[in-house]
Amino acid sequence: MSTGQGDGEAGGRGVDVRHLRAFLAIADEGSVTRAAARLRLSQPVVSRTLASLEKHLGVRLVDRSTHHLALTAEGVLFRDKAAAAVGAFDEAVDSGRLRHWPLRLGHAWSAFGPYTTPLLRTWQQRHPLTPLELRRIDDRTAGLTRGEVDAALLRGPVDAPGLVTELLFTEDRVAAVAADGPLAAGRSLSLADLAGEAVVLNTVSGTTTLDLWPPHARPAATVTVANTDDWLTAIAAGRGAGVSGASTADMHPHAGVAFRPLDDAPPLPVLLARRDGPGHPALPRLVSLAREIVGRSRP
């Protein structure tokens, strides 16, 4: 493989590391323009480099049908392979000054709950050359299926194809109600207590649906939102009540929202998910550390 910048085109020489770097920059930035700026190349050169790589592979890696570029299914699979190849190349030719290849950990809300800070601090102490980047992405798989992260902390059942999940712990569910409303007066609540209210549902990244209630006792009205911030705002405004995991109370406090234990709701599983296939080489260490930190606090 060649390491020079050149114009990034394959010509008759096949694919080299420049093509992989250009693809990875586009995948990370979601834009050819920003990828070109990051690589210090012109936009036409980066576009031709991507087209040359796709022609060589015989598949389309990037969906150009929208303003914000997105990886195709083939692009998501290829990203891990390309990143592994570039990482191995950099280590082989620059072992004294290894490039820091961040491990991107996604979450839609509440991250790792009470274990978030211990996880980040311990990782930094043990693996200073591999930054652990925590990214909040409002998506049911926190960007994992789109290739935006290497692993994700997810809550509730996950049925997206091509993912491998591991249960780390379960957390109790809580009711979220307006702090100045009548339901906030109780020390704990039940699903029946919420059935007389409209229920605020995060339909993009949340886990609560009307199926949480018995068919004969479901709330009559719902308010739908697209992220945790809007969910909290709607509840604080008295538009309805919500249900979430216990970590939400600590990770997303809001002056207008009171969280109360929900006595009769099933616990919420917290999962560590990754794509089924080659991935970031530090993933096994992340899984091991997550287990260790949870184990420290478990009887």
Q: Could you tell me which of 79, 73, 64 has the C-alpha nearest to residue 161?
A: 73
**pLDDT on residue 101:** 78
**pLDDT per position as a tens digit, 181-227:** 999 998 999 999 999 989 999 999 999 999 999 999 999 899 999 99
- Angle in degrees, CA 259, 263, 265, rounded to 5: 95
Of the candidate ranges 61-70, 173-182, 258-267, the one whose mean pLDDT is the lowest: 61-70
Q: How far is CA 290 from CA 115, 169, 283, in A?
A: 8, 10, 11
274/204 same-domain check: no
Band (123; pLDDT cuts 50, 70, 90): very high
Is residue 283 situated within a structural domain? yes
Contacts of range 154-161, beta carbons closer than 8 Å, 24 or more positions apart: 154/107, 154/108, 154/270, 154/271, 154/272, 154/273, 155/108, 155/109, 155/110, 155/207, 155/245, 155/268, 155/269, 155/270, 155/271, 156/207, 156/268, 156/269, 157/207, 157/269, 158/271, 158/273
Show which of 97, 122, 141 is a domain's final residue.
Answer: 97
Whether residue 98 is predicted with pLDDT greater than 70 in this model: the reply is no
Can you give the pTM of this predicted structure?
0.73
60/205 same-domain check: no
**pLDDT on residue 2:** 42
196/217 same-domain check: yes
Tell me the C-alpha distance between 246 and 171, whole Å: 6
Q: Stretch 94-101: mean pLDDT, rounded?
A: 55
Is residue 256 situated within a structural domain? yes
Q: Could you tell me which of 14, 11, 5 has the C-alpha nearest to residue 22?
A: 5
Is residue 43 situated within a structural domain? yes
Band (50; pLDDT cuts 50, 70, 90): very high
273/195 same-domain check: no
- The DSSP symbol for 57 reads H
Note down the domain range covering 244: 173-266
**Tally of domains within the chain:** 3
Q: What is the CATH number of the domain that holds 210?
A: 3.40.190.10
209/251 same-domain check: yes
191/251 same-domain check: yes
**pLDDT on residue 89:** 77
22/69 same-domain check: yes
**pLDDT on residue 148:** 84
**pLDDT on residue 3:** 40
Is residue 289 situated within a structural domain? yes
**pLDDT on residue 247:** 96
**pLDDT per position as a tens digit, 16-49:** 889 999 998 888 888 888 888 888 899 999 999 9
Residue partners of 199: CB distance under 8 A and separation at least 6: 208, 210, 219, 221, 222, 223, 240, 241, 242, 243
**pLDDT on residue 265:** 96
**pLDDT on residue 192:** 96
Is residue 1 situated within a structural domain? no
**pLDDT on residue 96:** 46
Is residue 165 situated within a structural domain? yes
Tell me the C-alpha distance between 212 and 293, whole Å: 30
